[in-house]
Structure 1
Amino acid sequence: MDDRAERDAVLRDERARAARAAELRAVTELMTPPAELVSTDLFDVGPLHEVLPAAFDELAVEFGALVEERAAGTDDAPARNTTPRLRALSVQLGLLNAGPRDVVALYDRYMSALGDDGTEPDLEARFTAARITLLHLMGLIATYYRRAALIDRRRAPDMVSDRM
């Protein structure tokens, strides 16, 4: 019976690793824009990791630190509130005109660097923390752009009246 429990545990670990690998492949596909998108050619805008690699590297380090901090929390000692730092990261991304693919690239960079090092519960906690951090960051950057659009809309009438 002990042998069977051990085989079951190994099988669970293998399935979890396969699921993580599949998720990383899917994320990589999300980062690759379809060929029919021409906005990068028209507006001379490319992925942040290509256009500003040093800035992207710094943002990726901060994203990774936030994920690690969130993953370090336990039931007895929950992780510190990372929202203020995550909000600051979203502002930095917004100021660099980052898009959703750039945010996914941060996640991909962290997950690719993570690999299969560590125990299964530790890896699962990091994957979960990375997903939650990604979703939280996506929401914050959407809020950043929504606020920027509202500010532009409020300024638009003033600009029109200045021209007349």
Structure 2
Amino acid sequence: MTQELYQLLLIEDESATVKMILDFLESSAVSPLAERLLVQVTAVSDLDEAVKVCQKQEFEIILLDLFLADIEGIDALVQARKIFPEQSIIAYSQSEDEQLVIQSFQHGADGYLRLKNLDSYLLYYELLSVLQRKIYQSKSESQRSLASQQKEYLDLETLISSTTSVTARMFGSDTIKDSFPELFEELKQTYGNLLDLALEQRAFKVEHDLSSRLRNLADRLGFMKASPRDIIQIHTTTLREKNRDTNIVKSQAYVAEGRLMVLELMGYLASFYRKYYVSLNNLSISSRLPPKDSS
């Protein structure tokens, strides 16, 4: 089994300290914890250089010296946290000031090390602790997101089962999914393509004129005498298939864009039926009007 390689960014302006930390990380024979963590270190001397490096590569953990040449103390951590809001940061220093330790955690440090007491074991232990906490938080977030999605699907499916279709009462029709499964698959494919375009439009700031495409889809559904229940079935089935084998970030994006799309599509279908009913009502009224007196 291939061991995962973790990228570590070291922000340190003293070459002797850089060498010491690299030596600790290479002391696999000294620390048994090293067998559980394979790291690759990139060292930079200041925050500006760190920004440039992070534009080209992602790092799981940042090791930050709190006493750099151009910024010192808690200000270094505050600035680093502004620049790297998502990365795990382990701060360290030569200082024995307890207030600095407390302030570091208050300002977003995920760990803290004192160089005076540092050895290979303590360094690996801190790195493993921060990584495991990060993995746990990521899994918890994924589980919460999945639970939220499942609840949304359940709510929509409950709405499907409890809604009495206006169009079913009007036309005596079943759902498109039950009556014409092949047509339902085609509509689902069309809706899925529009959902992909919505994500592309959001991510790359391009314009796909989704409103016109959704209006065309709504008109097509209207001519099929579709109901809101049909739209919800198309929406939930498409989302389930899209999110089956995708990562959590893309899954959340599908759900977010889907909420907007399904509401817009329902609005266009309602507009279609309003026009339809107006035409029927006008026709019905005109047929009941007495003929005009020709004299």
Distance in 1 (alpha carbons) for counterparts of 2:177 and 2:226: 10
Alpha-carbon displacement from aligned partner over 1:76-120 (angstroms, at most 9, x marks no partner): 424522111111110111111111101101101102212342221
Give the one of 134, 137, 141 matched to 1:12.
141
Shift of 1:75: 5.0
Q: Which residue of the partner structure matches residue 53 of structure 1?
A: 181
Could you tell me which residue of structure 2 aligns to residue 68 of structure 1?
Answer: 196
Report which of the two structures shows the higher radius of gyration computed on alpha carbons: 2
Structural RMSD (CA): 2.6
Describe how 1:1-164 pairs up with structure 2 within 5 A: 1-33=130-162, 44-74=172-202, 76-161=204-289
Question: How far 1:49 sits from its partner (Å)?
Answer: 0.8
Query: Structure 2: any 5+ residue segments left out of the alignment?
Result: 1-129
Distance 1:94 1:76 in 2: 32
Give the secondary structure class of the aligned counterpart of 2:226: coil
Structure 2 distance, partners of 1:163, 1:61, is 51
Q: Give the drift of 1:157.
A: 2.7
Partners of 2:170 and 2:214 in 1: CA distance: 31
TM-score, structure 1 length as denominator? 0.86
Tell me, what secondary structure is at the counterpart of 2:254?
helix
TM-score, normalised via structure 2 length: 0.50
Higher helix residue share:
1
Q: Indicate the percent of aligned positions where both proteins have the same amino acid.
A: 20
Count of paired positions = 163
Distance 1:44 1:132 in 2: 30
1:154–1:41 Cα change, 3 Å: closer
Higher strand share: 2
Report the equivalent of 2:13.
none
Partners of 2:162 and 2:135 lie apart in 1 by 43
